[in-house]
Structure 1
Amino acid sequence: MKIKFKVQPYQTEAVQAVVDCFRGQPKADPARYRIDPGRLDQLQLSTEGFRNAEIAQTVDVLENIRAVQKRQNLILSDRLVPSAGGKINLDIEMETGTGKTYVYLKTIFELYEEYGWSKFIIMVPSIAIREGVQKSLAMTAEHFAQTYHRKARFFTYNSKRLHEIESFSSDAGINVMVINVQAFASTGKENRRIYDELDDFQSRKPIDVIARNRPILILDEPQKMEGPATKKALPQFQALMVLRYSATHKSEHNKVHRLDAVDAYQQKLVKKIQVSGIQVRGIEGVSAYLHLNDIEVSKDAAPVARVDMEVRMKSGQIRRQPRRLERGANLFALSRELDQYQGFSVTQIDARSGTLEFSNGVVLGLGEAIGDVTEGDIRRLQIRETIRAHLQREEQLFAKGIKVLSLFFIDEVAKYRDYSQPDEKGEYARLFEDEYEQLKAEALGRFDFDNPSYHQYLKSIAASETHNGYFAIDKKGRLADPNVAKRGTDKGLSDDVTAYDLILTKKELLLSFREPTRFIFSHSALREGWDNPNVFVMCMLKQSDSSISRRQEVGRGLRIAVDQQGERVDHPAEVHRINVLTVVASESYRDFVSGLQQEIADGLSARPRQATEAYFTGKQLATDAGPVEMTAELARELHRYLIRHGYVDNDDHIAEPYHQARAAGTLAELPASLQPYAEPVLGLVDSVFSGASLPMPGDARKPSTNPLNQNFDKRAFQELWRRINQKAVYRVDFDTEELIRKSVPTLNKDLRVTPIKYLIQRGTQIEGMTDDDLREGRSFKVGESLTETGESAHSSIAYDLLGKIAEAADLTRQTVARILNDIEPSVFAQYRQNPEQFITEATRLIREQKATVMIERLTYDAINEHYDTDIFTAGQTGNDFSRATEKLKRHIYDYVMPDSEVERAFVQALETAQEVTVYAKLPRGFLIPTPVGDYNPDWAIAFDEGQVKHIYFVAETKGSMSSLALRGIESTKIDCARKFFAELARQVGSKAVRYDVVTDYGRLMDVVGARQVG
C-alpha cells in the first residue's frame, strides 16, 4: 500500500503564512556564481553554481510579518528577532501529528514557485528524525510532482559523499539537503570534516561550498538544537533565513503561524486521547493482592467481576490466578484459606461506576490494584491492559481496513531481548506472549456473528510473530541500548539508522495486514522524528523520566489513521470515533491526565489569558466578504456581552458557563452589531486560554458494558420480538435465459474500459559525465515526454476470459460465452485495450443483473427455529463508548453506538417521539439470509397507536433513497428483506410487522401513516 496525501486547508494556511512574509520579492532565476574549483592540480574546471537570490531591499519583511500575524490574530512583532542562524527567523507552531514535515516540504515548493529560491537545508536534532524526513521526502515526491510538475532533488549529508554537495550547488532546480546536528556540531573526527580543508574535496572546506548557496535553513524541532555547539556552528551556513517548525518552541522569534494542541483537537486534526491508569492503592492494614480486570454484565445474571488474586495450590505454592467473582463470593475460601483474604466477601459489583465492594469496606475500581504490588506486577498489568485495548480497537476497525498498532516504550533492551537465554526472549517478551495467548483465546471465544474475517485474521498470527523490537543494532546483529551507542563507534556499534527500518523506511509495510507485526517494543529515547498514523495504543513500560514529557510520548500516536488504501480516515462525523489513542500509564488516570494537561497549558504561551476589550480591539474577523476589523465599539459590545451573561469572571478569564453553553449550542444571543459575524466572533472568544478549553482525555477504564434495561421486558417489545425472531431459508428458481437477456443490453450500455496510457520520455546523454553520474543514474537528461494511448502491455498474454468471468460471477463458461457473443462488437473490442479492466467491469455488471434475476424468483420458507434472546447480550464486553449516545429512555439498552450521523439523528428523534413505546437497534446476530450474503436490519420499533394497541415496524435507515446511493449488493439485500417480511407475514401471520427503508424519522412516520390508512 501507499500512503496518500491530499491538500488540507489548515496545512495550506501554514504554508501561505511563510510565503506571505516575503511579498514584494521579485521572482528571479537562481543567482549564478562560479563554484570554487579547489586545487588546480586536480585538473577540474570551475563549474557554474546557483544560489538563492538575496531578499530585495524593497521588501519590508517586518511589515509583511505583521500583516500575517494580524490576519491570524497573533501577537504583533515590533522587530525582526535575530538568532545565531541569521537576521530573519520565523516560528511556525504546529501540534505533533498535524503534518509539519509535509507543511515545510510544501513550503519549499511554494517558495521556489513564488520567488525562485531553490537551495534548502533541513536540520534535525537526531538520526531518527533525519530518517523520518528522508522517508517523507520519498513518500511525497509523486504527490508534489502532480501539483508542481517538478521534483525536488534531495540527499542526506555524509562526509564521505561530498560530491553530493557539488551537485547541490550546481543544480538550478529545487535542492534539499538533510543534515542532523551531530554532523556539524559534534567534536568527533568525522563530524569535524565539514570544517576541514580536505584532500578528497580539492582542498576545500565543505561548509564554505555549502554557505555560498545562501541556503534557507529549516529547523525541525529547533528546541532540541539550542546547545552552545549548535549555536556556534549555525552562522557558518550563512543562511538567507531560518524557518523553525515545532509544537513546543523554547525560544520565541517572529511567530507567523499557530496551530497548538487546543486548535488541533478542536478542529479534529489529531486523535482523541484515552488514558488507562494502573493505580496502586496502599490501604493500611491490607496486604491481600487484588486487581480488578473487568466487570461482565448480562441480562439474565448479576454482574460478575474478573480479578487477579493469590491462590494456594495443592502443592502448597501460592500463585496469582484470575478468578470470576459473583456477589457474596468469599475470597478467603476461594484462595484456599489464605489469611490475608479474611473479611473479603463481595457485597456489591457496580458496572455503572466500575467498582467492586467488599464486606470489610475496601472498594476497588477498574484497573486498580491493592496489596503486595511489585513493579513486576504493574508491568504485567500494563502489558495485559495494552493487549486488551488493542484487541478491542482491532475488532472494531478491522472491517474498515484499518490496521491497529500498539507501541511499548521500555528503557532497557535486556528486558525485551535477553541474549543469555536460549530463545533470546527477555522478561517483557515472555510476559507479552503469556498475556497475549490468554487474551487472544478470550477474544476468539466471544462469538461474533458479524466479524468472522477478523477472527480468522486473529487466529492466523502467532504470538511470537506479532511483536518486534526496534533499537540500535550492534555489528553482531544484536539489539543495543542507544545510550551505549552514544559512547562511540569504537564499541563496535553501527549507525542507529538500522534501528528504524520497519517503523520508518518501511512504514507502508507496517500498515499492511500482510505484515504480522502489530506490537512494537522500542526505547524510551525514541521521541520526535517518527510516528505512525495507526498507533492506537501506547504503553509506558519504564521508570518516569523527567527529560521526556508525557506530551512528547503521546505525540508518537496522535496522527490521524489511514486505511489499507492509504487514505486518511478523517471524515468529520467519524474522526474522533475512530481515531482514539489509548495511553496505558504506570500511574493513575488522574495523575497522568493532570500532568499532561499542565504540559499542554505550559506550551500555550501564544494564547491570551484574558478576554478584555483591549485584546478584542483591532482583531480581524474572517468573513465570506473578507476580513472585518473589530473596532473599539464592537470590542466593547463583546466584552459587555460576556460579563452580562456570566461568561467571564471578575478577572476576565473565560468561565465554565461559556464552555458549557458553547458545547450545548445554548449561548445567549449576541448583540445585533455582532450577529453578522457570529462565528468569527465566537472563534475569537475561543482563542482565549482557559483550563476548560484544554483537551480532556477520557478514562479508558470506564465500564465497557451496555446492559439491557427494563424496556426489554416491556410487553410491547416482547411481542415485537416474538413476531420477528422467526428463522427462514430461501429458495431461488434461477432462469439462465432471463439473465442473458438482461446482461447483454446492460453491457452494451454501461461497459466502458479506460485504455492503457504510456508515458514516452526522450533523453540525451549528458556531456562530461563522471563515474558518480553513472553510478547514481544521472548519465542521461530527459528532454521531452509524450503520453500515448495504445493496447495493453499484456495484450499478448493468453487470458482465460470465459474462465475468469465465470469463476467470479459463479456461472458456467457456456452462459458467459453466450452473453459476450451477443454484445456489440465495438463493446467487445475494448477487451484488447485493457483486458484486466474489461474482465473486472464485465463481471461486476453481470453479477448485478444476476442478483436482480434471483430476487425476482426468490421465496422464503419458515423453519422450526427462532432467534434466542441471547443475541442481545452476546459480545457485551468491549463496546466502543466513544460513539455512545446520551443515556436513553425508550431503547432496550441504556446507550446506542450509532454507525453514522444519520443513525444518531434517528435515535434523537425516537427518544423525543411520544408515539414510540420502545425500540431497539437490532444486534449483529439478527440476520436474514439472502443470496448475496446475510443481512442485518437496523431497527425494531413498537408504536403506541392509541386505541389499537401497537404498530410494529422494522426499519433500515439510509442517508439517501436515490438509486445511486442504494445500488449493488446493499440494494439487493434490502429487496430480499422486503420479500422475507412479506413471506413471514403470509406464512406465520405476522401481519402487523412492517419493513421499509427510511431516511429519517419524518419519513418513517410518513410510511407508518400511509400503511395505516391503506
Structure 2
Amino acid sequence: MDLILKGDLPHQQKAIDAINTVFKGVKITKPSLSYMNPSFDINSGIVKENIKEVQKEIHPSMRGSNEIEDYLNLDIKMETGTGKTYVYTQTIFELHKRYGFNKFIIVVPSLAIKAGTQKFINSPYVKHHFRETQRYYSEIDLHVLESKKTKKGKNFFPSPVREFVSGSNQVTNKIHVLLTNMHLLQDRKGSMLVRDDYDYGVEGFYKPSDAMKATKPVVIIDEPHRFARDQKTFEFIENNVKPQMIIRFGATFPDREVKVGRKKQTVKDYYNLLYNLSSCDAFNQNLIKGVSKEHFEPISKKQDKVKIVSVNNKTSVNIQYIKEGEKTITHTLAKDEPLSIITSSFEGVYITGIGKNFIELSNGQIKYQGEEFTTDIYSSSYQEQMIKLALERHFETEKENFNRKFKIKTLALFFIDDIYSYRKDEKTGKETYLKNTFERLLKEKIDMELSSLTEIDSEEYKNYLLASKKDIDATHAGYFAQDNSDSDEAIAQEVNEILFQKEKLLSIKNEDGSYNTRRFLFSKWTLKEGWDNPNIFTITKLRSSGSENSKLQEVGRGLRLPVDEFGNRISNEEFFLNYIVDFTERDFAEELVRQINSELPEILVLTDEDIEKVAKKLRIDPDDLFLELLTKKYIDRNKKVNVEKKDEFIEEYLDFVGGLNKGKVKDSNKNKPQPVKIRKSNYAELKELWEILNQKYFIYYEKLEEEFIEEQLVELLKKDVFTDVIIASKRDIVRGSENGMVIGESAGVYYTLEKPLPYFEFLRRVNEGTNLPITAIHKAIVKFSKEHSIEDKYFNEYSAANLINSFEVWKTQNLQGRFSYKKTSLPIHPTPLTNKDGTPKDVISQGRIGTKIVPGEAMDKYLYDAIAYDSELEKDNIQSQIDEVVVFGKIPRNSIRIPTINGGTYSPDFMYVVKKKDGSKELNVVVETKDVENENVLRGIEEDKINSAKVFFEQLKLDGYEVKFETQLKSKKMKSIIDELLSS
C-alpha cells in the first residue's frame, strides 16, 4: 500500500502562498557562479510591503519582530499533524519553479525527525505526487549529512556537502537539498564543518561551512522551539552559514525577552510570522483528531499507589509510595516484613517470598519489578486495569473502522517504564510480566469480541480476529533505544516496521494475502518528535511521568487524520484519539485545553467589528450582544474586557477569540457514556415506523446494456489507468583510499518495478471491486487496446486499483436516477432498540445516540430519558417543544443502513410521529440533520447519501408506507419543517 498525498489542501496552500507573496514583484538577480542561489535585495521596500500585506491576516500581537538584518526570516506556524513536512517540501519546489532557488539546507533537531524527513522526501510515492499530481518537473537531490567517524590517514571533505555545493544551477531540473540535524551544526573544536585541513576541497573551499555559505542558501528550520536564537546551532547558522533567508516551520516557537519600559517581558519569538494555523484552528477545522482523555479510577477512590522499583538479589525490595500532592517515599523491605510499613491500607499483608524480579504477598498475589498497583490489596495491578481499558477503547474503534466500505487499520500505542517487562533480558532471565499480562488480556478480549459479533459485522472481521488469536505474538511489537544495537533478527524486523515501514504497518493484509494483525506498539517514550502514525487511535501511558512536557507534543504521535486501506486520507469525518493516563494526570484534558487556548491572541478591548462579526454568527443584533456582555460584566462601557472575568468570558463566547470548540478535547472520566433508558410507552407509539425503517432493502441498478458499459469503461481506461510502478534506488559507491575501502553516497535513480498480474487475475480483481461482468471488462480492454498498445507489465495491482476507483467516481456521477430499492424477506429484529422477539430493550448505550449529554431528563415525548446528542442542532431539536409531535427519537447510529449509490450505507438522524390537523397521527417523518448553513457546504459523498435516501423513501411509499423524508440545515428550525409538512 502507498500513502496517497492530496495537493492543494487549503490549510497547507495558504502557508505556501504566503511565502510566495513575499517575493511578488521583487527583483531576483541571477547567480554569477554555477554553485550559487539567485539573490534578492532583502532591504527592498517591496519585500517589507508584501510582508505587511500578508500579515493583515495575523493578529497584531502575533506578528512578531519585522526587522530585517543580514538575512530575511519568515515564520510559518502549523500545528502538529497538519503536514509541515509536506508544506516545506512543496515550498522548496515553488521557490525553485518561480524564482530559481536550488540550494536549500533543512535543519532538524533530532535523528528521528531526520530519518522521517529523509524517508518522506525520498519516498517514491512522494516523488510521484509532486511530479505527476502537482506538475513540478524538477527533482530534489537530497544529500544527508551524517556524523563522521574519525579515521587515521587522509581527511576527506564531507561528501554530502561536496555534492550539495557542486550541484550546478545550470541543470535546471535539479534542486539540491542538504539535510542535517542540529548537533552537526555547532562550532566545536575539530567539528567536521569548521575544519580546513581536508586534503581536497570543493570549488576552492577547504572549510565546509565556507562552501555552504558561498551557495547563498535558503535554510529551513523544522521544530523552531528547539532552536532558540542564543542556542549554538542557531548561532552557527547565522555566523558560519550566513543564509540569505531562514524559513522556520513549527507548531511551537521559542521564547525571548523584550523590554517594555523598564521591565522585561517574555514573548514568543516570532519574526515575520506569515501564517498561523493554531492548535484551535487544527482541532476546530477537523484537520487533526480530537482527544478523549480517560484515566482508570481506583476502587477505593484513594489517589495513591505503590510501585516495585527494584528487587535486590532476592534479599530485599525497594518500594515507592506515591501519593498525589505529597513527596514520593521509598521503603526497603525484606521477606516477612509487613507492607503496612508503607501505608496502613496494607494492614495484614506481608512479603512471603522474593524472586529474581518479583515478590510474593501473603494475600496470594505476585507483583513484578516495575509494576504499579493501588492500595486496594485484592485488586489486580494498576497497569492491568489500564490495559483492559485500552483494549476496550481499541476494539470499539477497530470494529467500527473495519466495517467501513474502505477499511481503516486501527493501531494502539503503549508507553512503558521498564523495557524488560516487555522485552526479554537474556542476562537476567527476568519474566516479561507486562508482555505476558497484555497477551493474556488480549486473548480474553478477542474471545469476548468473537462471541459478541452480530450478523451486521463482516465475516472478514471475524477472520481477522481469529488470525489474531491464532498468533498473539504477531499482533504486537516494540521499539526501544537499545534495539538499535540488538542483533536479534525478529527485533530488527519489529523496529524496521515501526520506524520505516509505515505503509506496511497500515496494511490489513500482507503481500501473500494473509492478515497483517500487528497493531499494538510498545515503547519507552522513544517514539517522540519525528515519529507519528495516522492510524494511532489509542495511546496509553503505562508509566507515571507527571510530565511537564507540552501536552500537545505528548498526544502528537496520534493526532494525524487516518488513512484507509488504499492510502487515502479521511478528512470528511470527526475522529478522536483515546488518550489513557493514570490518576496523577487526571487533569490532562483541562491542561491541554488551557495550553491550546493560551496560544490565542490577547483580547483586551473589543472593537465594533468584533461585536458585529460574532453577533452575525450568533444570529442576534450587535446592540443586543453588547448589552448582554455589559450586563454580565464581561466588558465595560468602553468595550474593555474585565480581566477578572476574562476566562469566564472566553469560555462562554469562544467566537471572540477563536478558542477551542467544546467537545474537541474530552475528559471521559467526567462525561462517561451512560446506559440510556428507552421509554417503552413511547416506543409503542414509534413501533410501526421503526419496523418500517428496519425492513431490509437491496439496491438495484437499472439494467444497463453491456455495450454501454463497455463504452464507458473504454473512456475510463483513457484516463491514465495503466501506469508504471516507479521506485527509487539508493546508490552507494565504494571507493579505494589509503586506509582501505570507503563507501560514499550518490544520487539514486528511478526505475520501473515490473510486477504484472496474470490477465485473468487482473480481470477478477476489477470484477470483485466493481461487480461488473468479466466479459464486459475484457471487451472494453480489447477495444481500448486497438488504439492504445498495452504492455503486459501494465496489468498490475496499481492499474486494477486505478480502474476500480475511476469506476466508483463514474458510478456516483452517472447513476443518479438509474437505481431503485427492493424489499427482502430478511428478519427485522433484533435491532439496537429491540430484542430478537421484537420487544423493546430496557436501555441503549449512550454512544449509539450521542457523544455529548445534557444533565437532566428529556421531555415526555422523547423516546429516551436523557438528552444525548452529537451537534448543537441535534440538541436544539431534542429540547424543542412542538405541540403537533406525538413522539420522536434519535435514530441510533448506523442502525438502519440504507444502501447508497456510492457503495456505503446511510442512516438518518431523527424519526417523528406527528398529529395531522384533524387530530389523527398518521404522519411519519424521518429527518437528516446537517449542522451547516446551506446546501453548498455539503460534501459530495453526503449529497449522494441524501439523494439515495430520497429514492429509498419513494420506494417505501410505493410499498405502501408513507414516510416523509426531510433534510434539516442549521438555518432551519424543526418547528418550521413540521409546519410546512402539515400545511402541504
TM bracket (short chain)? 0.5 to 0.7
Residue number in structure 1 paired with 2:914 = 943
> Distance between the aligned counterparts of 1:931 and 1:20, measured in 2?
43
> Distance between the aligned counterparts of 1:779 and 1:403, measured in 2?
32
**Aligned residue identity for 1:994:** E
Matched, 1:457 2:464: yes
Residue number in structure 1 paired with 2:667 = 698
> Distance between the aligned counterparts of 2:827 and 2:393, measured in 1?
41
**How big is the shift at 1:800?**
8.9
**How big is the shift at 1:397?**
2.6
Provide closer, same or farther for how the CA distance between residues 584 and 456 of structure 1 changes in structure 2, counting only shifts above 3 A. same
Residue number in structure 2 paired with 1:516 = 517
Q: Are the counterparts in 1 of residues 544 and 584 from structure 2 also a CA contact under 8 Å?
A: no
Identity of aligned residues (%): 23
Residue number in structure 2 paired with 1:250 = 254
**How big is the shift at 1:115?**
3.2
> Distance between the aligned counterparts of 1:253 and 1:61, measured in 2?
17
Provide closer, same or farther for how the CA distance between residues 217 and 250 of structure 1 changes in structure 2, counting only shifts above 3 A. same
Give 1:788-807 correspondences, 5 Å limit: 799=760
Residue number in structure 2 paired with 1:670 = none
**Bigger Rg, structure 1 or 2:** 1
**How big is the shift at 1:710?**
2.4
Structure 1 residue runs without a partner (length 5+): 34-47, 289-337, 341-367, 482-493, 624-634, 664-681, 762-768, 783-792, 986-992
**How big is the shift at 1:183?**
2.5
Per-residue CA deviation, residues 604-649 of structure 1 (Å, 9 max, x unaligned), is: 3x72241266xx99x99999xxxxxxxxxxx999999954774436
Per-residue CA deviation, residues 638-677 of structure 1 (Å, 9 max, x unaligned), is: 99995477443675447577557657xxxxxxxxxxxxxx
Q: Are the counterparts in 2 of residues 135 and 504 from structure 1 also a CA contact under 8 Å?
A: no
Structure 2 residue runs without a partner (length 5+): 149-156, 256-268, 307-346, 350-371, 510-515, 615-621, 725-731, 736-742, 969-973
Q: Are the counterparts in 1 of residues 108 and 180 from structure 2 also a CA contact under 8 Å?
A: yes
> Distance between the aligned counterparts of 2:11 and 2:869, measured in 1?
29
Per-residue CA deviation, residues 951-1010 of structure 1 (Å, 9 max, x unaligned), is: 2647585999x9x99999999999788778876x6xxxxxxx534655457788877887
Matched, 1:123 2:107: yes
Q: Are the counterparts in 1 of residues 476 and 518 from structure 2 also a CA contact under 8 Å?
A: yes
Residue number in structure 1 paired with 2:221 = 219
Other structure's SS at 1:155 match: strand
| Residue from 78, 82, 105 that aligns with 1:94 | 78
> Distance between the aligned counterparts of 2:35 and 2:652, measured in 1?
62
Provide closer, same or farther for how the CA distance between residues 53 and 445 of structure 1 changes in structure 2, counting only shifts above 3 A. same
**Aligned residue identity for 1:579:** F
**Aligned residue identity for 1:221:** E
Residue number in structure 2 paired with 1:433 = 439
Residue number in structure 2 paired with 1:610 = 604
Residue number in structure 1 paired with 2:657 = 686
Residue number in structure 2 paired with 1:171 = 168
Matched, 1:111 2:109: no
**Aligned residue identity for 1:156:** V
**Aligned residue identity for 1:432:** F
Residue number in structure 2 paired with 1:882 = 851
**How big is the shift at 1:858?**
7.7
Q: Are the counterparts in 1 of residues 143 and 160 from structure 2 also a CA contact under 8 Å?
A: yes
Residue number in structure 2 paired with 1:536 = 537
| Residue from 130, 139, 143 that aligns with 1:144 | 130
Provide closer, same or farther for how the CA distance between residues 163 and 287 of structure 1 changes in structure 2, counting only shifts above 3 A. closer
**How big is the shift at 1:478?**
5.3
Greater CA drift, 115-124 or 468-477: 468-477
Residue number in structure 2 paired with 1:195 = 195
Residue number in structure 1 paired with 2:413 = 407
Other structure's SS at 1:509 match: helix
> Distance between the aligned counterparts of 1:11 and 1:726, measured in 2?
43
Q: Are the counterparts in 1 of residues 900 and 906 from structure 2 also a CA contact under 8 Å?
A: no
Q: Are the counterparts in 1 of residues 464 and 517 from structure 2 also a CA contact under 8 Å?
A: no
Give 1:694-733 correspondences, 5 Å limit: 696-699=665-668, 702-710=671-679, 712-713=681-682, 715-718=684-687, 724=692
| Residue from 67, 83, 92 that aligns with 1:80 | 67
> Distance between the aligned counterparts of 2:708 and 2:108, measured in 1?
59
**Aligned residue identity for 1:246:** G
Residue number in structure 1 paired with 2:863 = 892
| Residue from 263, 274, 278 that aligns with 2:296 | 278
| Residue from 569, 589, 595 that aligns with 1:593 | 589
| Residue from 475, 484, 494 that aligns with 2:485 | 475
**How big is the shift at 1:223?**
2.5
Provide closer, same or farther for how the CA distance between residues 8 and 831 of structure 1 changes in structure 2, counting only shifts above 3 A. closer
**Aligned residue identity for 2:575:** N
**How big is the shift at 1:3?**
3.2
Other structure's SS at 2:540 match: strand
Provide closer, same or farther for how the CA distance between residues 795 and 981 of structure 1 changes in structure 2, counting only shifts above 3 A. same
Per-residue CA deviation, residues 834-862 of structure 1 (Å, 9 max, x unaligned), is: 99879979999999999999989988699
| Residue from 37, 48, 60 that aligns with 1:51 | 37
Q: Are the counterparts in 2 of residues 917 and 943 from structure 1 also a CA contact under 8 Å?
A: yes
> Distance between the aligned counterparts of 2:396 and 2:524, measured in 1?
25
> Distance between the aligned counterparts of 2:433 and 2:715, measured in 1?
57
| Residue from 277, 282, 300 that aligns with 1:264 | 282
Provide closer, same or farther for how the CA distance between residues 238 and 861 of structure 1 changes in structure 2, counting only shifts above 3 A. closer
> Distance between the aligned counterparts of 1:438 and 1:851, measured in 2?
47
> Distance between the aligned counterparts of 1:796 and 1:692, measured in 2?
50
Provide closer, same or farther for how the CA distance between residues 421 and 658 of structure 1 changes in structure 2, counting only shifts above 3 A. same
**How big is the shift at 1:545?**
5.6
> Distance between the aligned counterparts of 1:897 and 1:116, measured in 2?
57
Per-residue CA deviation, residues 450-470 of structure 1 (Å, 9 max, x unaligned), is: 222434433332432222112
Give 1:62-77 correspondences, 5 Å limit: 62=48, 64-75=50-61
Alignment root-mean-square deviation, CA = 6.0
> Distance between the aligned counterparts of 1:780 and 1:570, measured in 2?
34
Q: Are the counterparts in 2 of residues 646 and 655 from structure 1 also a CA contact under 8 Å?
A: no
> Distance between the aligned counterparts of 1:580 and 1:397, measured in 2?
12
Q: Are the counterparts in 2 of residues 413 and 479 from structure 1 also a CA contact under 8 Å?
A: no
Per-residue CA deviation, residues 19-58 of structure 1 (Å, 9 max, x unaligned), is: 44455532344x243xxxxxxxxxxxxxx52334253554
Provide closer, same or farther for how the CA distance between residues 411 and 128 of structure 1 changes in structure 2, counting only shifts above 3 A. farther
**Aligned residue identity for 1:259:** L
Matched, 1:648 2:635: yes
Q: Are the counterparts in 2 of residues 93 and 248 from structure 1 also a CA contact under 8 Å?
A: yes
Provide closer, same or farther for how the CA distance between residues 812 and 471 of structure 1 changes in structure 2, counting only shifts above 3 A. closer
Provide closer, same or farther for how the CA distance between residues 369 and 917 of structure 1 changes in structure 2, counting only shifts above 3 A. farther
Residue number in structure 1 paired with 2:118 = 134
**How big is the shift at 1:554?**
1.5
Per-residue CA deviation, residues 112-169 of structure 1 (Å, 9 max, x unaligned), is: 3443322111111110111121233235433333243322222211356933323322
Give 1:18-57 correspondences, 5 Å limit: 18-29=19-30, 31-33=31-33, 48-55=34-41
Provide closer, same or farther for how the CA distance between residues 719 and 11 of structure 1 changes in structure 2, counting only shifts above 3 A. closer
| Residue from 743, 746, 751 that aligns with 2:705 | 743
Other structure's SS at 2:583 match: coil
Matched, 1:230 2:233: yes
Residue number in structure 1 paired with 2:394 = 390
Q: State the number of aligned residues.
A: 817
> Distance between the aligned counterparts of 1:192 and 1:286, measured in 2?
52
TM-score by length of 2: 0.67
| Residue from 154, 171, 174 that aligns with 2:142 | 154
> Distance between the aligned counterparts of 1:222 and 1:811, measured in 2?
53
Provide closer, same or farther for how the CA distance between residues 178 and 620 of structure 1 changes in structure 2, counting only shifts above 3 A. farther
**Aligned residue identity for 2:146:** N
| Residue from 418, 425, 431 that aligns with 1:419 | 425
Greater CA drift, 438-447 or 462-471: 438-447
Q: Are the counterparts in 2 of residues 918 and 943 from structure 1 also a CA contact under 8 Å?
A: yes
TM-score by length of 1: 0.65
Q: Are the counterparts in 2 of residues 194 and 206 from structure 1 also a CA contact under 8 Å?
A: yes
| Residue from 360, 378, 389 that aligns with 2:382 | 378
Matched, 1:581 2:577: yes
